[in-house]
């Protein structure tokens, strides 16, 4: 049995020992992993931690405001970085999934590195968990926060990495969040990938396409709150399909709804969702987003699919 209290005690000691008198920066996306990491480090080193929220333009509706407000309410020194334009610029012309991930990762580390320099810190704290490491090492995904595991030296970016959760799986991270007294919106928060909505736009990532998938995501989350599933989201395809809007043939967007049950994201089951709920989601997505003519539901378990599309 995992003992969250004991884990927190040991973590605080470890972090203090590793960090010493240095300063730490923590990139907090608002997800449970990065928020628990941020709070743990804050508890360990106090104001020698600065949390940064990088607004890459790829977040869910209202998320930047929510995360910054939450961190400040916990008494954590927080820096907001508006990098929307820069992120969209690096995605320009890139359609390959792996290229997009790499472009995101590179821009993320550069942005963070710049902030780290300004703050004169030595350590970057990251919310890497065990599943990320397993899958990156196996070659199943290229996670943006497990540089060490894939043989990239974090020193080349100019800092050291602190990963207090790297031995934990998701359910244990949630236990730690509860132990730390974090609000439910954090401790029970649905997983959301580092590169965020950029993975949920197939093909080139543009502000227009992100706006479509952001709205679709909002509808899916709104209609599936009561399901208790592990992860619920929307994906915007690059392919188009024919449809009929206002009596005329149009060539419009396709959105896929993905709902999965999982313990730890290493394997997952396609959710068995009542037909009525799926139809309501499809009606809302095609009704409320003018460019969308088709709504699909992903029937595939992991494996053979992954949870995300890219």
Tell which one of 138, 184, 226, 228 touches a second copy (CB under 8 A).
138
CA distance 67 to 308: 23
Distance (Å) of CA 173 to CA 52, 128, 177, 259 = 21, 11, 6, 21
Tell which one of 139, 151, 181, 228 touches a second copy (CB under 8 A).
139
149 interacts with a second copy by CB under 8 A: no
Tell which one of 43, 119, 122, 306 touches a second copy (CB under 8 A).
306
Q: Taking the complex as a whole, how short is the minimal distance between the CB of residue 222 and a second copy, in angstroms?
A: 16
From the list 1-9, 146-154, 173-181, 289-297, the region that binds a second copy by CB under 8 A is 289-297
From the list 41-49, 151-159, 216-224, 234-242, the region that binds a second copy by CB under 8 A is 234-242
248 interacts with a second copy by CB under 8 A: yes
Ranges within 187-226 binding a second copy (CB under 8 A)? 202-203
264 interacts with a second copy by CB under 8 A: no
Distance (Å) of CA 276 to CA 5, 224, 280, 282, 301 = 42, 12, 6, 10, 21
CA distance 8 to 4: 6
CA distance 25 to 37: 11
Q: Dump strand ranges (E) for 30-74.
A: 49-55
How many of the other CB atoms lie within 10 Å of CB of 54?
24
Tell which one of 12, 18, 140, 211 touches a second copy (CB under 8 A).
140
From the list 111-119, 144-152, 190-198, 274-282, the region that binds a second copy by CB under 8 A is 274-282
Tell which one of 55, 119, 221, 298 touches a second copy (CB under 8 A).
298
Question: Which candidate, 284, 260, 24, 289, places its Cα nearest to that of 162?
Answer: 24
Give the residues across from 222 on adjacent strands.
Answer: none
With contact defined as beta carbons under 8 Å apart, do 34 and 126 qualify? yes
Ranges within 78-97 binding a second copy (CB under 8 A)? 97
Say which DSSP state 155 is in.
G
Question: CA angle, 180 as apex, 179 and 182 as ends, to 5°?
Answer: 110
Which of 51, 257 has the CB closer to a second copy?
257
Tell which one of 156, 206, 245, 288 touches a second copy (CB under 8 A).
245
Two tokens, residue 238: 């690059």
Q: Is 270 helix (H, G, I), strand (E, B) or coil?
A: strand
* Cβ density class 200-230: b for 16+ within 10 Å, e for less: bbbbebeeebbbbbbbbbbbbeebbeeeebb
Say which DSSP state 291 is in.
T
Total residues contacting a second copy by CB under 8 A comes to 49
243 interacts with a second copy by CB under 8 A: yes
Q: Taking the complex as a whole, how short is the minimal distance between the CB of residue 302 and a second copy, in angstroms?
A: 7
Q: Taking the complex as a whole, how short is the minimal distance between the CB of residue 232 and a second copy, in angstroms?
A: 15
From the list 57-65, 125-133, 181-189, 244-252, the region that binds a second copy by CB under 8 A is 244-252
Tell which one of 50, 176, 212, 293 touches a second copy (CB under 8 A).
293
Q: Taking the complex as a whole, how short is the minimal distance between the CB of residue 134 and a second copy, in angstroms?
A: 12
Say which DSSP state 217 is in.
H
CA distance 113 to 122: 10
Q: Is 49 helix (H, G, I), strand (E, B) or coil?
A: strand
Tell which one of 59, 94, 141, 209 touches a second copy (CB under 8 A).
141
Q: Which chain residues interact with a second copy by CB under 8 A?
A: 97-98, 138-141, 202-203, 237-245, 247-249, 251, 256-257, 270, 272, 275, 278-279, 281-282, 286-287, 293-306, 308-310
């Amino acid at each position: 049995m995992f003992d969250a209290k004991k884990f927190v005690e040991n973590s605080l000691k470890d972090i203090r020992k590793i960090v010493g008198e240095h300063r730490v920066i923590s990139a907090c996306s608002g997800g449970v992993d990065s928020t628990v990491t941020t709070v743990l480090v804050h508890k360990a080193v106090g104001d020698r931690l600065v949390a940064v929220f990088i607004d890459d333009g790829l977040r869910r509706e209202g998320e930047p405001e929510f995360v910054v407000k939450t961190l400040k309410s916990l008494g954590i020194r927080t820096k907001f970085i508006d990098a929307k334009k820069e992120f969209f610029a690096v995605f320009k012309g890139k359609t390959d999934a792996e290229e997009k991930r790499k472009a995101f990762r590179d821009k993320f580390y550069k942005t963070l590195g710049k902030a780290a320099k300004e703050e004169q810190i030595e350590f970057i704290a990251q919310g890497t968990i065990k599943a990320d490491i397993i899958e990156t090492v196996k070659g199943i995904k290229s996670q943006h926060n497990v540089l060490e595991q894939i043989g990239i030296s974090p020193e080349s970016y100019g800092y050291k990495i602190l990963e207090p959760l790297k031995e934990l799986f998701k359910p244990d991270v949630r236990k730690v969040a509860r132990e730390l007294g974090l609000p439910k919106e954090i401790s029970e928060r649905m997983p959301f990938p580092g590169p965020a909505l950029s993975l949920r736009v197939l093909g080139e990532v543009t502000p227009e396409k992100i706006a479509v998938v952001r709205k679709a995501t909002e509808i899916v989350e709104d209609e599936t709150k009561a399901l208790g599933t592990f992860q619920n989201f929307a994906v915007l395809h690059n392919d188009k399909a024919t449809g009929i809007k206002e009596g005329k043939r149009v060539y419009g967007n396709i959105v896929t709804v993905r709902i999965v049950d999982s313990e730890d994201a290493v394997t997952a089951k396609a959710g068995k969702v009542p037909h009525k709920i799926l139809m309501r989601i499809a009606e809302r997505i095609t009704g409320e987003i003018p460019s969308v003519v088709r709504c699909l539901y992903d029937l595939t378990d992991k494996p053979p699919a992954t949870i995300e599309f890219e």
